[in-house]
Structure 1
Amino acid sequence: MENAALDRNTRAIFAGSLSRDLATTTAIGVISNLVTLYLISTTGAPQLAISAIIISTFLFTFLSGTNTMDQFKAWIADMDEQDANSHSGKLAKQAPFTMWKTVYSLTFLAVAVTQLLEVWI
């Protein structure tokens, strides 16, 4: 394989890894929130410990998710001319990253805040 083909293959593998990382982070956050909701609604678990888990889950998903989105945005910015002019490259250049990061962050923040309210009120 020539260098251009190897580079394109490496970039495709990297994009797949980023997608997997974001999906995994989101899944961990959602599952953790569901378990926390179950604990809140069915047990008298210690408030401080549950609060620490809620805050930790939010911080993990927020930091990891937004970092992965930033990496994906950088990956798009580094596309070569051939990739950038492809249909998927043109679509990627128009991706609303600010909106995605905002919705992603606000969703997990809203879940964390409502869980904390449920624990303490």
Structure 2
Amino acid sequence: EAAEAAAAEAEADFAQARKNRTACLALLCRQMQRIERVWDEDEELRRALLRALSSCLGSLSAHADAVLRELGSLSPKLAASATLRHFLTICLPVERQHTRSLRDDEFLVLRPDDLGRGASAAG
């Protein structure tokens, strides 16, 4: 199954990056961004990737790095059945805190119509 294969690949990539704090944080942020991108398009993939992300985070609970250990506490809060709002409530602060110099195309975007509302509210 394609969704499970993608989740297994995400976990394998994480296993390689897990020991390096910077690589680990970057990979977690990329996983979060990927989940958000497929949120409405592929429920099966989204759920598989959420399970993989939760598993990856859970494996950090005994990590030597305090920041990564703290992220491990998010694991039980990320169920495969999470709503988009719940997911973003957990993941956006992580991304903001641990990702430097994001390019515009790397920011999480809720929905295309949210962009229009934000622009009209700001203007």
Q: Quickly name the TM-score band, shorter chain normalised.
A: 0.3 to 0.5
Give the TM-score normalised by structure 1.
Answer: 0.41
Report the TM-score when normalising by structure 2.
0.40
